[in-house]
Structures are given as structure tokens and as C-alpha cells.
Structure 1
């Protein structure tokens, strides 16, 4: 890990190369990350199951909740909300009713109302980690990632996170880093925050390919800035870090298109044989003129070494 004090304070040049398909995929993940079929109702990932209550003595309230769930399943959300509002008014401490109402509000895009209901659920069940998780995922769906992370960290304090929790938390840390990277200008502090977020993303999900790739891009960019400022020691340090992350991306996805970037990193480190290896693999799938030009430069350097 580099000394984070050694970061350039410069305007950033954007060079992310995500394909249109990748952008669509990321948008879909952002919008639908936590919506799944659970116990017959489309609701939040890991939400405590909302199902008709099994009681020996059915009452009007239980029947009302059952009816609301049926309506939600049929897409008749507004009708369900009217029933649920009456239920929480009559029984303000009924967790299942508030939780179902939160889901219903979110399904029709009433995000603030959904948040308020999940906050009530947390007040009623403050020791249930899934309640914090669900609220955190709502914050993430509207890109309030700072709130999402703090809420999910509260869930982590109450219970050891399982694989699904960790994967979603990893995605949120990545999203916050990506949002910072997409800004026009990045300060030294922003570099540190982005790197820290991506390290957290990888800690929670070591297979988060996007996090490894963005971290590689950032290290690569920092290295280029140090090279431009004639600081070869710092440049080499960050090129090594970038190369390590690019290799992890390839391990996770051998079909990734980062080989060209990895080849350039190896070239900048004077590792011409490795640069030739990765660029050759890239050129088997691409006729990129810039890559072909780099191959010519590599071959010249290799001849000079003989």
C-alpha cells in the first residue's frame, strides 16, 4: 500500500472505458439491486418474510394484512396502502404492518414515505439487523450512499454479515467511489477517500470485479500524473499497484478487456516481455491502432535489449 500522503493534487482526466452494455447493466443493478421474489411477494433483498400470519384465532387486523399482501402481489398497490395505513393507525406498534407499508410505498416510488416507515420499523425493532439493511438499500437506490453505508454498518454491529449483506455493502462502497471518480476535479482527499472505499468494497467482496478495475484505473492515473511530474519513484510504485489490480481483474474475468491497460503498465515499468504477452492476447480480439502502435514500440525495445 502506498503512502497516501504521496498523491498528486491535479485535475483528473477521465478515461473510463465501460461499454454501453456495462453501463446498462450497472444502471439495472442500481435500480433493482434489492428487489426479489421472497415468500410470494416482490420486496427487498433479505427482508424478513412478509407472509400471512399463522394464528389459531384470525382477527380483522391479520386478515387485513393478508389482504394487503395479496393486493401487492397482484400489483394493486394503492389499494394495499389504504388498508395498511388503517392497520398502522389502529396498531401503531405492529412491525409487520409498517414493514409491508414501507415495501408498498417503495414499489410506487414513494421513497421518502418508505424511508419513514422503515425508520418506524427500526424504532420498534432496534436490534434486528435486517431492518437497518433494508433502510440502507433504500438509501442506496436513491444514491444516498453515505447514509446507506452508515445504516448498513449499524446492521454489521448487530450481527456478523452474511454473504449477501457483504456483497451489497461492497457494491455500495464501489458506487460511492465511482461517483467521486466521475466528478470534474479530484483533490488529494478525494483520492484517499476513493481508494479507501474501493479497499472496503474489495474487503467485503474480493470478487467485486468493478471495484478491482476502478482501483486499477485510479492507481494507473496517479502513476501517470507522477510520471508527468518527473517523480519516477512514485510513478513506479503506483504502476506496480495498478498492474496488481489489473491482474486480479483478469483472474476474475479472463475475457476482460484490461489487457491493453496492463500491457501499457508493464511497458511503463520496463517489463517489455510481459507487455508483449498481454498485448498479444489483446490484439487477438482487437485491431486497435493504438495497441498496434504500442506493439511496434515494444518490439523495438526488445530488440534493443538483445
Structure 2
């Protein structure tokens, strides 16, 4: 396997590293680490590069530079450096973690399919090539194909917890929560300090309704990494389900104290405000989410719903339009709610058109037909008792909220 070849090559290079160059490389590395802590990323980048130039076998320097690239959203450069660190030291646990994180964040251009197939062709014994292809499939929401690639990677490296982690995320997205639970547990057995594995194990347990077990794993997540803000988001979701709104808000606040840019926490807090009919606060929170991430579709949709529920119908249509035309043209509930408004306005032709769009998308997603409406004038009757719904809570036609 090529990973072993790289290890042998690294050992040989290390033998021939001149003492002066090695020492100089370590000095640059220490300086770079200090600059990174001070958030002086450009200066840190230069020092990491000097460390690598002085000692091409300094895995920590590649890892450090990779972290800077990741922070700067230079994802391909980050992936290259994390791979190099792993090539030098295949047991470099933190580099494996960061490489997996980088794979997830990479937005692949159109030709990436061929690049990834070619990488597997050229290096069929390297499990990371299959992981990269799996992540690419995952981004395209082809979860079955992604899982297949992760399984191939795991056949080549059966005790790699980071490959197991990716496989577990695939299972989660497929709704195979018990399979996800089992694979995350295996990852944790191999790496007891793997915070992402503990967190996703908690999510898989929560999805199965195993709340007490989920809480236990969330606490373990925070033991390993006290700054893991998403753990508090799930704590908040548990309190939300129990309708303990103030306790839920307290958990979301904790998440944002640890990470002010945690958009899921802010979004969930907006849901609580909406449930409490604090609509202006909910609008403010959702707008703040969209300011950070204009593609956060549930926040845009919920803004439309809030305007809808407060009878600001033209504003509601404006936001449903944003959802369907600019963010996600397959967001079926936006069509349904917009159809309701058109019906209230007496524009049954547009209402019927939107309902047909809703029907087609619903059938495509679920394989099931919604209620059939054959004539435009039937739309009016259909929407007489309908209530616009938010997304984030458990399904309830009176008030439905949709979490990510």
C-alpha cells in the first residue's frame, strides 16, 4: 500500500536531514504557531513555509500551514498540506481529522468527477482517493454512491476512524440512524478523543428518540472539546421538543457564546421567538442568519411564513419568491404557501400553478401524491382552513418549524 511506501521514504529523508536545517525548521515552526494563535495568518503562513523549506519532513509544519489555508478558505491548498503531513506520518491523528473536515467543505468544480476517478485509477490502494470521491457524491446528495465509496476506503484501511466518521455521516443523511450509531461507536473505540464522532453519535441517538443516551454523548463531546458549540444546539433542540422554551434559548445562547458565528444556534433561537409570537425578534434573527449565509434557505422561508402569519402578504410573497427563484427552486412548501396567498387574493390561476409545482416536487421527493386538485376553483376551498407553517419543529400543521 502506498501509505507504507511514503512512510519508508519519509524515514530515509529524515536520516539525511542536516541538524542545522532541522533545528532552523523547528524555530520557524514555533514562531508560526505563535503567530497563528495571535491570528496573524499571513505572517504565520510565511513562517510555516520557511519551516518546510528548512526541513521538508516536518509534518507539523504542513499541518500548521494547512490549518491557516483552511482558515483562509483556501481549501485545495489545505487538503494538499494535510495529505502531505499524513504522507510523512500516517498516524498523524489531527491531520486526518482536518483532512476529513476539508473534504467536507470543498466545493468541487465541474471537472472534479474526472479528477477523482483519475486519482483512484492512478492510486487504487490509497483509501483517501475513495473518501474524496465519496465526499464529492455527498455534496451532490448522492448518498448511496457516497456510502459505497466510504466502504471501499474502509476495506483498504479498516481501522481508520475518520473514514468511519464519513461513512456514519452518510448513514445519518440516509436516515439509517442505527447504522450511523454503530459506526460512530466503532470510530470512538479507536479514537476516544474524536469530538465529531461523539457529537454525531449523539445526533444519531437523538434521531432515534434515545434522548438520555444522546445527552450522555453530548456531555462526552464537551469533555473532549469544551468549545464544541453545536452540542449546545442539540441540547436546545431537546428542550424545544419538551416545550421548555427559555431553557432552549439558554442552550442556544451558550452555543453562540462559544461560537458567535454558529448560524444554526441563531436560527433555532429565531424559531423559539416565532413560537412565542415575538415575530419582530424572529425576523431580526433570521435576517442576521441570511446576512452571514444568503443561501440559508430555512431562514428565508421562515421570514416568508412570519410575514404570512401576520397578514403582510405582499412581503410574504416577496420572500417565497426569493426561496423558489434564488435559493432553492425545489423547496416545495414555499410553493404551497404562496399558492395559499394567491388563493386568498382571488388569483386562482397562479394558486393552481403553484400547487401543481408543489405536487410534482412532493411526488419527486417522497414518491407519493399529495391531495389531488383538478380544477382551479377547487383551490379556494382547499386553502380555506390552511395555516401557513414554519420549519423547524416536529410536524404540526398549526405551527411547523424546520431544523437543518
Return the TM-score normalized by structure 1. Answer: 0.44
**Bigger relative contact order (CA 8 A; separation at least 6):** 1
